[in-house]
Amino acid sequence: MESVARLIAESWMVLCEAAPFMLFGFFVAGLLKGFVPDDLMKRHLGGRGPLSVIKAALIGVPLPLCSCGVLPAAMGLRRQGAGAGATTAFMISTPETGVDSMAVTYAMIDPLMTVLRPVAALLTAMVAGFAANVLPERLLPAVAVVPSNSSGGCGCGGACSRQPALSVKHEDPVENGFTHKLIHGLDHAFGEMLADVGGWLLVGIVIAGAISTYLPPDFFMRYLGGEFTSMLVMMLVGVPMYVCASSSTPIAASLLLKGLSPGAALVFLLTGPATNATTITAMARTFGSAMTSVYVAAIVGCSLIFGLLANRLYEGLGFNIHAVLQTVNEVLPYWVEAGSAVLLLGLLARALSQAHQHGGHCH
């Protein structure tokens, strides 16, 4: 019972630290949903040119979609005429980071990792996209291009609700008003989007609490002291594991407190959200083995390279990430953190209840 009480206490502390920044991240995600034009991606991601890859990578960085939700979105883009490179870049930069995960990274780790994470995701996406663009057409499955006013099907449970709208709608003065866009965006962010990732966020927080409770403080220094060894372990854990960008952050922060190097933590933050066994299997069926191989190889190779570079950067700047982590709980007053945690749990309960009423179907 004492052990369980410690686990609950540690998990509550992690939730309190993350909650204010999660709320801010979802708020910004709601603004993106409400005010970014629906057909923006479709208009810019066609063809095989390098510019389409760069645009796809940049567009994907702030979007808070997980690896499950990004698959139906990428399928929609491909059917709307997006190139193989742009589709691959979008599938990597989108789940690896987002406005919500960047906010939580700043709160739970440090400002440097907050910058390194999206930069690494962006560059990884571009490398994969450029590589996919040079694949011969015969290695890519034929794609039926559908009209822009067609609607796609659902991917993994309810994921199509997160799929960026690709249809061109007739403008309505009321629907184009500032207030309507704001309400629509926030309702989506704190409704469908929160329901999609909220459960996994809680799983990540409990895992982070378990790591803090049960692992000794010098665990990684004692058992995985080798720089490259710890990165390989994090890669082997992250690639098949299903974890969204937000829920991976408290896990990484807890591992860092146990002595994990910043580079190994970055490897987990890049591989965990971008890949999982289900997504890789579904992608192979949808986009073919060649494009899937480029996707996985780019994530694995780039994550290890950026992990090594992150360690050198931290060493060169004399930045002690473990010392910074000891003070993250002082960012905001406790009453703000606790109130935000209660509010986030309430919003999550509401979002999950609404999702249950709709049966997880598209609407």
Tens-digit pLDDT profile for residues 173-220: 555 678 888 888 888 888 887 887 777 778 778 887 787 777 776 666
Question: Which residue would you say has higher pLDDT here, 338 or 68?
Answer: 338
pLDDT value of residue 127: 95
Mean of the pLDDT values across residues 239-268? 85
Mean of the pLDDT values across residues 140-160? 46
Is residue 82 classed as helix, strand or coil in its secondary structure? strand
240 within 8 A of 276, measured Cβ to Cβ: yes
pTM of the prediction? 0.72
Mean of the pLDDT values across residues 217-245? 77
273 within 8 A of 121, measured Cβ to Cβ: no
Mean pLDDT of the chain: 78
Distant-in-sequence, close-in-space partners of 156: CB < 8 Å, separation ≥ 6: 68, 69, 71, 72, 278, 282
> For the chain, what's the residue count?
363
Predicted confidence (pLDDT) at residue 290 exceeds the cutoff of 50: yes
pLDDT value of residue 100: 81
First and final C-alpha spacing in the chain: 44
> Residues 220, 223, 224, CA angle at the centre, nearest 5°?
60
Predicted confidence (pLDDT) at residue 225 exceeds the cutoff of 80: no
157 within 8 A of 174, measured Cβ to Cβ: no
Which two three-digit tokens encode residue 12? 């509550």
Query: If you search the block for the tokens 């002595």, which residue do you land on?
Result: 259
Provide the 10 A C-beta neighbour count for residue 282.
19
What Cα–Cα distance (Å) separates residue 288 from each residue in 96, 106, 109, 193? 22, 37, 37, 28
d(CA 92, CA 87): 9
Q: What is the percent of the chain where pLDDT is above 70?
A: 75
**Least-confidence region, from 77-86, 256-265, 306-315, 345-354:** 77-86
pLDDT value of residue 196: 73
- What's the pLDDT band for 165 if we cut at 50, 70, 90? very low
Question: Which residue would you say has higher pLDDT here, 144 or 315?
Answer: 315
d(CA 106, CA 115): 9
Which two three-digit tokens encode residue 7? 């686990």
263 within 8 A of 54, measured Cβ to Cβ: no
